[in-house]
Structure 1
Amino acid sequence: MSITALASRPTSMRPAMSSPRRYVIRMTAFVIVVAIVAAILAPGVSSAFMSNPALNGVILATTLFGIVFCFRAVLNLEPDIRWIDAHLTQRSQGGRMAAVQPRLLAPVARVIAEQQGELSLSPLAMRSLLDAIGARLSESREISRYLIGLLIFLGLLGTFWGLLETVRSASGVIAGLDMEAADPSAAFATLKHGLEAPLTGMGTAFSASLFGLAGSLALGFLELQASQAQNRFYNELEDWLSANTRLSAGPQQGITGIEAGEPVFPAYIESVVAQTAENLDALRRLTAQADEERRGQGGALGAVATQLAAIDDHLQGQHALMARLADGEQATAAVLARLAATLESDRFGIDEPTRQHIRSLDTTMRRMIEELSTGRIQLSGEIRGEIKLLARTIAALAEGSEAR
């Protein structure tokens, strides 16, 4: 009975990666509503802001920065979604992977590049990729939550600062009252003038608290929309990676164990199976590369064989030509021999110098025939040596490619 069996889900299914535009629209509508409310309450808001422009300006700047950051966190999902759609479209059309690399999905892009455009993951690899992407998404959420906490802190800081000013000013007013003064109106005027500082401190306290809580409320809603957009992106990405994940299936006892909530196999067996599957994928890629190299070497050897065949045909033509030339020279030598014999018999009455000249011509022709035969043998030997050297070179190249 086999321990595990690897099965791959179909990778051609297209994930429904939704666009985060709906969340951007919600956030934009919320910001517009807040701006309209602030415009309606502009007189009161401006007077409250002038209670402490420095602190309230810091709170307002932090709020604006948080709004921009939340919009950026949502809009950053759009390039990664377009990259997934472009990758699936190019893979279905047999093209290459997109040249522009994503930011959040950089680990997935590296895995696809290593697997030559295909995506086949083990459960452990899928979990590692999801953890890495989840950590990147959590980083932006942590920053937005920190900004919300910072706004609350600034509001409380302004509140306590204003209360301290109020208490200090009130104590000064109380200490400066003269209950024994003869003119009550003068004492009341002094009290009225002394209460301006405590009231200013109360304005600082309440305005800082107002702006801090309002800013944290606005950022809280925007952070909620950004978190929903990121969670939806994460869930859809998990569905896509699950569709490209090799699952391990066990025997009937393992299925019963799954239904009962028990683990099918120990964790180390699952790890071994996943590692084995990854090694098989790597072996498959190496085998494909070796096949491509072998086909290239086969083409080169075919070209060499074609050249050798052409050389052999040329040598055969040379041999035939030299054989015909040798036959012609032998026939010429025979004719000259008969002519010499005839001359020696004084059949035609040729004088002695002419006979000697004909004998020397016959000797020269015989020497030429011998030299031609010797040259043909030497040429054949040299050509055979060159062919042997070429064959040894090809064999050495073939052995070197097999060793690689």
Structure 2
Amino acid sequence: MDFARSQKTDDFIAPDFYGVDELLSEEQLLVRASVRDFCKKEISPIIEDAAQQAKFPLFLVKKMGEMGLFGPVIPEIYGGMGADYITYGLMMQELERVDSGIRSTASVQGSLVMFPIFEYGSEEQRLKYLPALAAGERLGSFGLTEPDFGSNPGGMRCHFYEEGDHLVLNGSKTWISNAPFCDLAVVWARNEEGRIKGLIVERGMEGFSTPEIKNKWSLRASATGELVFDHVRVPKANLLPGADGLRAPLRCLDNARYGISWGAVGAAMDCYETARKYALERIQFDRPIASFQLVQKKLAEFLTEITKAQLLTWKLGKNKNEGAATSSQISMAKRNNVAMALNIAREARQILGGNGITGEYPIMRHMANLESVVTYEGTHDIHLLILGQEITGIPAFK
């Protein structure tokens, strides 16, 4: 599919008020620079047209695979880079700086498809699926959310039973990124004993369909759909042997939420930098609007919140590298950073006035995208309650 390429040059420069770059290794900086360059050349020129058309730029998947954007923390033997988690976070930050939907594609592929196959799969499954997923030769999706169960995944109804050498899967999943174009899906369903298990379902299996969810106002450059299973016969060899219980998919979500905490900072940076440049160029009352106190107040607050979020994600990345990051720490970062980015997008749009709602600038697209990001992978309020349970020891979910 062809997309109109913008003639505007992407001259983004990231703010780094506290010198956080000094905390990064040379390798981390080099990877970030290469991903930023890739985003400027390959994604920025077409992303506005893709969003306006509500079309997923599928051709980017192979290019993203070639860049190592899928599952970079996966060991090299399976097609990954064997990178650390700060490097992974920086990659997600650069992707979401151009679009949350494109970052979602990478998050799902790496954290929600490749991670469970690596962590819970057999060696045969790892060798069969991971290299092709890493290379962008195959696209994956993650089936957990159901029409009646979002924040309460433990209530899932999707189920399967054994029949000879196969498992017969029935049910449906919804709000699934990548679904309409996925080659395979990691699906969570109950067995006959009621235990939650993970299965790899491949396109072409009879009874498996992936209808697209249309008319979205958010994540318009991302493909979202359903996974529908009507007596789908899945080979028993596709069952993830190491996954048992709800804890397995929740660990996958932790990895995805970690990447989101970094990605949201990228979206906030793009809104801040767009508003800063606009304020310096826009003349009203014979002076740039950047000279007015209220505009300076907004910009100062943007930079402050972005700097706080940068430090939060960097320390979380350190914890993750050391195997010490907790689910509640990840919840705090995801919740704080997405809310921060959404607030900056809304306030930055005001600096641009009416121009801020057009596709000439990225702010309205970021704002609309972040309305999804603040909800998926655990809503803003659910992450609040996760922290509340951590503080008090009392779960407030029921």
Q: TM-score, normalised by structure 2?
A: 0.23
Ranked by relative contact order (alpha carbons within 8 Å, sequence separation 6 or more), the top structure is: 1
Greater strand share, structure number = 2
Q: TM-score, normalised by structure 1?
A: 0.22
